[in-house]
Amino acid sequence: MTCEAVIGLEIHAQLRTASKIFCGCSTAFGAPPNTHVCPVCLGFPGALPVLNRSAVDFGIRAALALGCRVNPTSIFARKNYFYPDLPKGYQISQYERPLAERGLIEANADYWGPERDIRITRVHLEEDAGKLLHEGFADSERRSYVDLNRAGTPLVEIVTEPDLRQAKEAASFFGYLRELLMAMDVNDGNMEEGSLRCDANVSIRQLSSESLGVKVEVKNLNSFRFLERALDYEIERQAEMLRRGEPILQETRLWDSDSDTTVSMRSKEHAHDYRYFPEPDLPPLVLDDARVKEIREAMPEAPAAKRRRLEKMYGLARLDVVNLTIEPGLDGYFEEMVRHQANPREAKNWVLGAVRAKINEARVGVAQMRSALSPAALASLLALVEKGAISGAMAKGVFETMFQSGRSADDIVRDEGLAQIDDDAQIAELIAGVLAENGDAVAQYHAGKAATFGFLVGQVMKATRGKANPKRVNDLLRKRLDADR
């Protein structure tokens, strides 16, 4: 029996606000426990939420980047459940009328695929819950500890249609979303700190079937590696059950990276158990066209669009463009060099070669690289190579000196006397000197011993301390010797 996996993702991304979504507490990561809490995020009776305008703006930006339609009116709803990470007894989320719906990532929109359209079901705003600590205390057998700093942090939840078919594809898509949200400046992409999290819904069906199998939700997929491995495991687990004719239960499973398996967490709570209802403490979120338009116009360039533009504008190969855009900021470095008259091909070679190597070697970011050696400064080094003032090999050394000292290419080349000798008269003078000192070799050359010529070139190059163009020396020497014949 041939079957295929059907996968949909639910991604939670923290929005880059300074304060929480419904109160003024800070969203900064790593503060001592329960120091970023107030009556609103602690759920004290009578405390009222007030919506953070920036959280909405970031949410709209994320929705637009995913090609969604922003609803003119969306409604906050209470999702009711009891768990100590949620002191109010409900999470403020959006349900029937989310912030935005019906987005699309088109097939082959970017270098990594996907090979088919990935539809975005919805994008909605909600608050994060607090953090539970289950281990590490003397009474951890009987007690859990609660830090509510995180409670009330603004999130967007992005839900895809079940359009993904393979674990690898899902991981690629999650990578695409991460890059997109970071480029949009909506999310910091930090999965270790929990700023970006992913759950997946997985089912299995026979290849020819149109209907979906029983859906299993897999949680705790908070790295690309875990996502791919957990999905591979879960797909195989379900396929095996199908082969044995065992029923697949609708449930939530947790990825356990220690055992490399998914383990059952709870049987699926049905949606109506949450008893969603409109949040009476918040008015409907009404967004006029002008606000959405303003956000759309201020959006940074999306990575996929940027890659297409770089390919077209500078005639670069796809792989080069991918390499330029994969480390944020390298593409900007490249484009600024070109703005300073660098040849795009040469600029690309330098950025992906020396600049990238230096960033890795010195363990600096692109921003630090810029302040040590600006794109404009590097462009002026390329200009020296292009006009023949120094050789490409010498430029590597000048690059190193520029990075270490912050001096300009012109200054280094002048102060260290590195400029190539491109004055024919000066080279001719050096040739005359070499010939005068090597009468025997000259005689041998004239007697027909061609190999001597190479020796004489070497002597002249030595006299120029390697700063003359060897081909030029070749030509001038040959001319001079033949004239003497």
Partner 1 sequence: MSVRFSTAEVDAIAALARLELTDAERKLFARQLGDILEYAVQVQRIDTSGVPPTASLVTSHAADRHDAVAPSLDRMAALANAPDAAPDAGLFRVPRVIG
One-letter amino acid at 198 equals C
Of the residues 12, 42, 328, 481, which one makes contact with partner 1 according to CB under 8 A: 42
> Which range in 26-34, 162-170, 235-243, 381-389 contacts partner 1 by CB under 8 A?
26-34
For the CB of residue 290, give the shortest distance to partner 1 in the complex, in Å. 14
The DSSP symbol for 353 reads I
Position 97 contacts partner 1 (CB under 8 A): yes
Round to whole Å and give the CA distance between 222 and 190: 10
The DSSP symbol for 351 reads I
Instruction: Pick the closer one to partner 1 by CB: 283 or 454.
Output: 283
Q: Is 199 helix (H, G, I), strand (E, B) or coil?
A: strand
What's the burial of 168, exposed, middle or buried (CB within 10 Å: 0-12/13-18/19+)? middle
Instruction: Pick the closer one to partner 1 by CB: 55 or 359.
Output: 55
Q: Take residue 278 and report the two structure tokens written for it.
A: 């409109």
Position 144 contacts partner 1 (CB under 8 A): yes
For the CB of residue 273, give the shortest distance to partner 1 in the complex, in Å. 6
Of the residues 69, 108, 117, 140, which one makes contact with partner 1 according to CB under 8 A: 140
Instruction: Pick the closer one to partner 1 by CB: 42 or 239.
Output: 42
Q: Take residue 428 and report the two structure tokens written for it.
A: 């001719």
Of the residues 13, 37, 337, 409, which one makes contact with partner 1 according to CB under 8 A: 37
Round to whole Å and give the CA distance between 57 and 391: 52
Round to whole Å and give the CA distance between 33 and 71: 37
CA-nearest of 341, 420, 332 to 383 is 341
Q: Are 34 and 148 in contact (CB under 8 A)?
A: yes
Beta bridge partners of 184: none
Site for partner 1 in 146-185 (CB under 8 A): 146-148
Instruction: Pick the closer one to partner 1 by CB: 32 or 247.
Output: 32
Instruction: Pick the closer one to partner 1 by CB: 9 or 287.
Output: 287
Angstrom distances, CA of residue 270 to CA of 279, 351, 394: 20, 53, 69
Q: What is the DSSP string of 390-450?
A: S-HHHHHHHHHHHHHH---HHHHHHHTT---B--HHHHHHHHHHHHHHTHHHHHHHHTT-T
For the CB of residue 52, give the shortest distance to partner 1 in the complex, in Å. 5
Of the residues 111, 112, 145, 453, which one makes contact with partner 1 according to CB under 8 A: 145
Chain-centroid distance, C-alpha 59 = 19
Backbone angles phi, psi at 176, to 5 degrees: -60, -45
> Which range in 212-220, 282-290, 302-310, 477-485 contacts partner 1 by CB under 8 A?
282-290
β-pair type (251-256, 216-219): parallel
Q: Are 93 and 69 in contact (CB under 8 A)?
A: no
Instruction: Pick the closer one to partner 1 by CB: 124 or 307.
Output: 124
Instruction: Pick the closer one to partner 1 by CB: 146 or 299.
Output: 146
Instruction: Pick the closer one to partner 1 by CB: 32 or 439.
Output: 32
For the CB of residue 216, give the shortest distance to partner 1 in the complex, in Å. 19
Backbone angles phi, psi at 26, to 5 degrees: -70, 150
Round to whole Å and give the CA distance between 382 and 395: 8
| Count of residues that bind partner 1 according to CB under 8 A | 52
> Which range in 27-35, 220-228, 304-312, 413-421 contacts partner 1 by CB under 8 A?
27-35
Instruction: Pick the closer one to partner 1 by CB: 20 or 178.
Output: 20
For the CB of residue 21, give the shortest distance to partner 1 in the complex, in Å. 10
Position 464 contacts partner 1 (CB under 8 A): no
Residues lying near partner 1 in the complex (CB under 8 A) are found at 17-19, 23-26, 32-39, 42, 44, 50-56, 75, 80, 82-84, 97, 132-134, 137, 140-148, 273, 275, 278, 280, 282-286
